[in-house]
């Protein structure tokens, strides 16, 4: 189940700094232009320069570390231990998803090529390859079933196309979608959330982006639509079939908002307090996490305690800012990252305050 979605922008530069598991003080519960900070979570620096991209219901966190020399490696945090998943032989790698059984998926350089998909399980890393394209990006894994997208170049060499895929029992299948699609999340029922688009031309303006969020189930695709704008994209999915993501509100594709969708009520705009919301994940209890931007333009990690609730900022770790919430598990533990004054990005875990 994807309580998160992959985000390549998360891979910012960072340097090992604080000790593993150090609990850091919450930021002041004051207004940040349009939202206030919740006191129901506390921030924990995971002790690694890098990012935390996914978390399972056992509290195991998948992400990446970055060394002082610039090498990035896929890692897993497990009960205070940092497990070096590593790479496929190249200088870059990250883990984008982890399921309850401990299957870890991600992307890595090899010694000679970039951007191979991989599966890591019980200490063994398997190279899943490029699927006939130039890059492959797993987005999520649940019960060992992997979803994501791989990239190809069109015959005219002007367009870069994405192709959504699913891997079950070692067999890769393309989802029956138009060229230009990606699968970002899968749940225990096998439902898949993602986004499909026509083509991806370099420099395509927002007014010509026409992608749509979708939910795939047993070969049938449900397009989730928009709220009057020209595009939508899905980022998270829970076991109840609720989908979260972002969409455009206008014909120009510029005004943006977050949404939640389910089969009974359809698509609804998330409360945003007058800023711009970008939800990333939703757990089985309806808790949603992501980022939120107020007038200052600085994105901050945010939490909605339910689809109809107003958002609240998550507390900054001591000294950190420019935070992002990337994933949330059934216990309300949130994986993400923060930027520190030296410009380095650290992996962060937000834990619910005991007794809350």
* Cα 104 to Cα 83: distance, rounded to the nearest angstrom: 12
pLDDT band at 301 (very low <50, low <70, confident <90, very high): very high
Distance of CA 246 to the CA centre of its chain: 13
Q: Are 98 and 104 in contact (CB under 8 A)?
A: yes
Residue 324 has pLDDT above 80, yes or no: yes
8-349, what's its fold? Answer: Methylamine Dehydrogenase; Chain H (2.130.10)
pLDDT band at 128 (very low <50, low <70, confident <90, very high): very high
pTM for the predicted model, two decimal places: 0.89
Residue 26 has pLDDT above 80, yes or no: no
How many other C-beta atoms lie within 10 A of the C-beta of residue 134? 14
- Predicted pLDDT at 56: 98
- Top pLDDT among 72 and 10 is at 72
Beta pairing, strands 41-55 & 345-352: antiparallel
Lowest mean pLDDT among 76-90, 102-116, 132-146, 173-187: 173-187
- Predicted pLDDT at 4: 40
Lowest mean pLDDT among 95-99, 169-173, 249-253: 249-253
Distance of CA 110 to the CA centre of its chain: 23
Q: For residue 21, is it left (φ>0), alpha (ψ between -120 and 50) or beta? A: left
Beta bridge partners of 136: 150
Residue 34 has pLDDT above 80, yes or no: yes
Tokens of 25: 């003080």
- Predicted pLDDT at 12: 31
- Predicted pLDDT at 202: 46
Average pLDDT over residues 161-188: 91
Average pLDDT over residues 237-250: 96
* Cα 159 to Cα 221: distance, rounded to the nearest angstrom: 24
* Cα 236 to Cα 290: distance, rounded to the nearest angstrom: 10
* Cα 42 to Cα 243: distance, rounded to the nearest angstrom: 26
Distance of CA 74 to the CA centre of its chain: 15
DSSP state of 114: S
pLDDT band at 206 (very low <50, low <70, confident <90, very high): low
Q: Which of 293, 230, 297, 234 is nearest to 261 (CA)?
A: 234
* Sign for the pseudo-dihedral over CA of 54, 56, 61, 63: negative
Instruction: Collapse the DSSP code of 151 into the 3-class scheme (helix H, G, I; strand E, B; otherwise coil) and give the result.
Output: strand
């Amino acid at each position: 189940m994807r309580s998160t979605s992959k985000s390549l922008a998360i891979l910012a530069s960072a340097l090992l700094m604080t000790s593993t598991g150090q609990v850091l003080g919450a930021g002041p519960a004051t207004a940040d232009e349009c939202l206030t900070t919740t006191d129901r979570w506390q921030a924990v620096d995971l002790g690694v320069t890098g990012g935390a991209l996914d978390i399972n219901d056992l509290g195991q966190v998948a992400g990446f570390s970055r060394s002082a020399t610039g090498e990035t490696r896929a890692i897993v945090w497990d009960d205070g231990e940092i497990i070096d998943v590593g790479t496929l032989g190249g200088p870059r790698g990250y883990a984008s998803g982890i399921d309850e059984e401990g299957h870890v998926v991600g992307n890595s350089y090899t010694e000679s090529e970039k951007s191979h998909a991989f599966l890591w399980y019980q200490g063994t890393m398997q190279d899943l390859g490029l699927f006939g394209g130039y890059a492959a990006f797993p987005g999520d894994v649940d019960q060992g079933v992997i979803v994501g997208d791989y990239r190809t170049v069109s015959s005219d060499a002007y367009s870069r196309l994405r192709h959504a895929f699913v891997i079950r029992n070692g067999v890769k299948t393309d989802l029956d979608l138009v060229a230009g699609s990606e699968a970002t999340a899968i749940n225990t029922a096998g439902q898949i959330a993602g986004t499909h688009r026509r083509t991806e031309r370099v420099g395509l303006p927002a007014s010509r982006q026409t992608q749509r969020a979708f939910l795939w189930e047993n070969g049938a695709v449900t397009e989730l639509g928009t709220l009057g704008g020209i595009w939508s994209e899905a980022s998270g999915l829970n076991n109840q079939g609720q989908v979260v993501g972002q969409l455009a509100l206008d014909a120009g594709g510029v005004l943006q908002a977050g949404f939640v969708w389910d089969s009974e009520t359809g698509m609804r705009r998330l409360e945003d307090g007058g800023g711009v919301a970008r939800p990333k994940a939703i757990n089985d209890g309806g808790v949603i996490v992501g980022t939120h931007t107020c007038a200052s333009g600085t994105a901050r990690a945010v939490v909605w305690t339910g689809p109809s609730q107003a958002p609240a900022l998550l507390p900054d770790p001591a000294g950190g800012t420019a935070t992002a919430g990337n994933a949330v598990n059934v216990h309300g533990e949130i994986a993400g990252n923060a930027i520190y004054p030296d410009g380095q990005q650290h992996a962060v875990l937000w834990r619910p305050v005991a007794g809350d």
